[in-house]
Amino acid sequence: MDYTIFMVMIGSSLVGCVSGALGSFAVLRKQSLLGDAISHAALPGIALAFLITMAKSPMIFMAGAMIAGWIGTMLVMAIVRHTVIKEDAALGMILSVFFGFGLVLLTLIQRLPTANKSGLTHYLFGSAATLLLEDVKAMCLMGVVTLAGLFLFWKEFKLFTFDKDYATALGFPVKRIELILTLLTVTAIVMGLQTVGVILMSAMIIAPAAAARQWTDRLWLMVVLSAVFGAVSGLSGALLSGFVAQLPTGPTIVLIMSAIVLISLLFAPNRGMIWEWFQRRQETKLLRQKLMEKHKS
Amino acid sequence: MTPQLEIIITACIVSTACVIPGVFLILRRVALMSDAISHAILMGIVIMFFIVKDLHSPLLMIGAVATGILTVLLTEWIIQSKRLKEDAAIGLVFPVFFSIGVILISRYAGNIHLDQDAVLLGEIAFAPFNRFLFLGRDLGPVAMWSMGAILVMNLGLLLLFYKELKLATFDKALAATVGFSPVLLYYGLMTTVSITAVGAFDAVGSILVVALMITPPSTAYLLTDRLSRMIVLSVLIGIASAVSGYVMASLLDASIAGSIATMTGAAFLIALFFSPKQGLLTTYLRSKHQKTDFASKMLLVQLMVHEDQQEDFETTVTHMVHHMDWSIKFSKKIARYSVEKGYITRNQDQLFLTPLGREVARAAIVH
């Protein structure tokens, strides 16, 4: 098999899997759009990391992205806590201002005489085809760390997500739990930036979890399903874009994920719309039959 | 007009046109719909382009606005189905449209000047190249005129429906009772947002649209809580950001749209710290001052109570450390503050109430 396609397949399914798993918590905590803000906020971090080190290493870029994404998240939280401004506006501001600042830095970098700078714009729209072994290695490391963190703090995250007050009352360090969960989410997002790009990364966080939510009410099942949906979309998106010419990977993955969401919204047992409609029709039929029988007797 | 001046004027017009619907977006807590709409319109533009094969056709705009409204409709439909929460619904719909747009461009658009970079990042520096010719006369850049028209429309709608918008924003139930349909107004607002985003996209890019729609109104919200003042302030902050952003961009030779977005953020940061009512720094200083003032009043009361007694010890700074459980440093600071205010006079370690101090102490007890 083609080496490039192989790398892209591994990278994309990894990104789908990890962002799917972490996305479950974001969706359940009604913080889906934080992912959008984090991924946009990462851009100036990547640019600054390059400007400071002048090196093109995925690890350094990801470190810069993580720091910037982290600062953005903290700013959103601080603005919401201390001012009249609501979360939606805070997210929108961080997203657009950080991204704008990132653009300024990117244009500055493009004016630099160094030749070694082309890789940076890949983070804007994602460019899975340029994934190298080095990148995939870095992504693997981040993925393992993220999933291990999820596994390690499973009980705490679960309690925190569903009943924050109870967690506080039990004496759990709620603030620290939130910090770790946010850190893991930032890691998951930064991991996927090179593959799907800043703009579509939020869909990677939201879509698999939104689909998984329709099939189950159990957290562990939702997280597993979400990770599977993410990985399957990543894998099939990478394959499709590998064999069809001029088909960008990121958008293809997002469309496959969205198709899974649509199917889930319509057909999932209990929660699906078609399912509900069918159920209701059965009930009406049954009721009518009973009434008829009563009428006869 | 020089190209520089044309760019600055266009930037100011774009910023004013964006800020007006933006105020209502943030007050209604749907700020992120501007993000969703400004990305989703890519699909409408691309599809319409394939139909009419002309990048300057007004049909492109209609396609884009239709996509914007479709985004809102689909998002609302998902929310109302109660299967997903609002945040997830917003975050699901626009990536689909954006992805379709990107795929269509990379598969079929080939070499024409239509790429996702242009939509997303925009390049207002190119605005002066596209001239508006009318009866053989050069009237300036097209972007200036098209955004000018959108600005006039936004201003007109604002003036016409100011009362209705205000009522529907702050009291939905009352608006519905009185007979204004909040749903109709909501979709009207979203249509305006779509039109503005579409008009601005090729001039400044969708990210600057989001920055201009959300950040100056949020900054103004930190400075006032009257709607009319908030609108005027937002417009002024938007214009200031546009001008200073342009200056910054030309000094650094960097992206103009990015610089303007950065400047809106800088304005917000200043307001965040120094806003007279809600600024982080001002509230910190105020609470600190209140603490000093309260402690000073406690000292005055203490001095008044012990005024008739002959024990000198009760009225010394040293005693405050023991009695009030204050640190030496804090006691000295409070004594200095009280002297400055003219509440007490000080003789070495001894403190004496002035007539003013006695009055303040009495007032403090009564309250």
Taking an 8 Å cut-off on Cβ atoms, the answer to whether A97 and B268 are in contact is yes
Instruction: Give which of B140, B136, B40 is closest to B93, Cα–Cα.
Output: B40
Residue B112 has pLDDT above 70, yes or no: no
User: CB distance B91–A213 less than 8 Å?
Assistant: no
- Dist CA B121 CA B116 (whole Å): 8
Q: What is the mean pLDDT of residues B49-77?
A: 87
Task: Enumerate the domain spans of chain A.
Answer: 3-296
Measured between alpha carbons, how far is A60 from A50 in angstroms, rounded to an integer?
8
d(CA A216, CA A200): 26
Question: Each residue of A9-57: pLDDT tens digit?
Answer: 999 999 999 999 999 999 999 989 999 999 999 999 999 998 888 877 8
* pLDDT for the residue numbered A1: 63
pLDDT of residue B228: 94
Q: Does A74 reach chain B within 8 Å, measured CB to CB?
A: no
**Cβ of B30 under 8 Å from any chain A Cβ?**
yes
**pLDDT of A268 strictly over 70:** yes
Of residues A93, A102, A205, nearest to B268 (C-beta): A93
Does residue B73 sit at the A interface (CB-CB below 8 Å)?
Answer: no
Q: Give the pLDDT of residue B312.
A: 63
User: Dihedral, CA atoms, A243, B99, A95, A102, nearest 10 degrees?
Assistant: 50
Q: Would you state the pLDDT for residue B261? A: 94
Q: What is the CATH number assigned to the segment(s) B3-278? A: 1.10.3470.10
**What's the pLDDT band for B208 if we cut at 50, 70, 90?**
confident
* B185 contacts: CB under 8 Å, gap ≥ 6: B161, B164, B165, B168, B175
pLDDT, residue A287, reads 92
Q: How many CB atoms lie within 10 A of CB B294?
A: 12
Res. B367 pLDDT band, cuts 50 70 90: low
Tokens, residue A297: 């007797």
Confidence of residue B116 (pLDDT cuts 50, 70, 90): low
3 state DSSP class of B139: strand
Distance in Å, alpha carbon of B146 to nearest chain A alpha carbon? 24
* pLDDT > 70 in chain B, percent: 90
Please give the pLDDT value at position A20.
Answer: 95
Percent of chain B with pLDDT over 90: 40
How many whole angstroms separate alpha carbon A275 and alpha carbon A269? 6
Could you tell me the two tokens for B138? 């050069």
Residue A159 φ/ψ, nearest 5 degrees: -60, -45
CA distance B94 to chain A (A): 9
Is pLDDT above 60 for B252? Answer: yes
CB contact under 8 A, A27 and B85: yes
**Mean pLDDT of all residues in A231-243:** 92
Residue B206: which pLDDT band, with cuts at 50, 70 and 90?
confident
Q: Which residues 35-54 in chain B show a CB within 8 A of chain A? A: 35, 39
pLDDT the model gives residue B105: 84
* pLDDT exceeds cutoff 80 at B291: yes
Average pLDDT, chain B: 86
Mean residue pLDDT across chain A = 90
- At the topology level, CATH places domain B285-366 in Arc Repressor Mutant, subunit A (1.10.10)
A 120-159 near B (Cβ less than 8 A): 124-125
- For residue A144, what pLDDT band results from cuts at 50, 70 and 90? very high
Residue B148 pLDDT > 80:
yes
CB contact under 8 A, A258 and B35: no
pLDDT band at A194; cut points 50, 70, 90: confident
Residue A108's alpha-carbon distances to A97, A113, A115, A268, B254, in angstroms, are 17, 10, 13, 50, 6
Express as a percent the part of chain A with pLDDT over 90.
60
Residues of B within 8 A of A207 (CB-CB) are 92, 95
**Testing the interface with A: which of B92, B227, B251, B283 to mutate, by most A Cβ within 10 A?**
B92
A74-83, B285-294, B348-357: least confident range: B348-357
| B322 or B254, which is more confident | B254
Give the separation between CA A132 and CA A138, rounded to whole angstroms.
10
Q: What is the mean pLDDT of residues B206-234?
A: 93
Chain B residues closer than 8 Å to A123 by CB: none
CB distance A273–B83 less than 8 Å? yes
A246 contacts chain B (CB < 8 A): yes
Which of B84, B214, B253 minimises the CB distance to A92?
B214
Distance CA B134, CA B303 (A): 83
CA distance B298 to B293: 9
Over residues B127-152, the mean pLDDT reads 78
What does the pLDDT read at residue A199?
A: 86
Contact partners, residue B328, CB within 8 Å, separation at least 6: B321
Q: Which of B214, B237, B250 to mutate to test the interface with A (most CBs of A within 10 A)?
A: B214
Q: Under DSSP, is residue B342 helix (H, G, I), strand (E, B) or coil?
A: coil
Does the beta-carbon distance from A84 to B225 stay under 8 Å? yes
pLDDT(A98) > 60: yes
Per-residue pLDDT tens for B326-350?
888 888 888 888 888 888 888 777 7
pLDDT at position B71, please?
95
**Which of A219-233, A277-291, B41-55, B177-191 has the highest average model confidence (pLDDT)?**
A219-233
Residues 6+ away with beta carbon under 8 Å from B44? B60, B63, B64, B65, B66, B67, B68, B97, B198
Q: Is residue A97 over pLDDT 60? A: yes
Distances (CA, A) of A102 to A230, B182, B195: 28, 38, 26
Model confidence at B121, in pLDDT bands (50, 70, 90)? low
* B268 vs A: CB within 8 A: yes
pLDDT at position B305 = 80
Topology of domain A3-296, per CATH?
ABC transporter involved in vitamin B12 uptake, BtuC (1.10.3470)
Distance in Å from the first CA to the final CA of chain B: 66
What is the nearest CA distance from B99 to chain A, expressed in angstroms? 4
Residue B314 pLDDT level (bands cut at 50, 70, 90): low
Contact between chains at A93 and B214 (C-beta distance less than 8 A): yes
Question: Given B30, B225, B257, which is nearest A103 (Cβ)?
Answer: B257
CB half-sphere exposure, B298, CA atoms < 13 A = 14
Tokens 């963190």: give the residue.
Answer: A149
At B310 the pLDDT is 62
Nearest to A264 by CA among B75, B98, B78: B78
Average pLDDT on A236-265 reads 91
Torsion of CA B327, B333, B335, B340, to 10 degrees: -170
* Domain spans of chain B, in order of start: 3-278, 285-366
* Contact: B225, A103; criterion CB under 8 Å: no
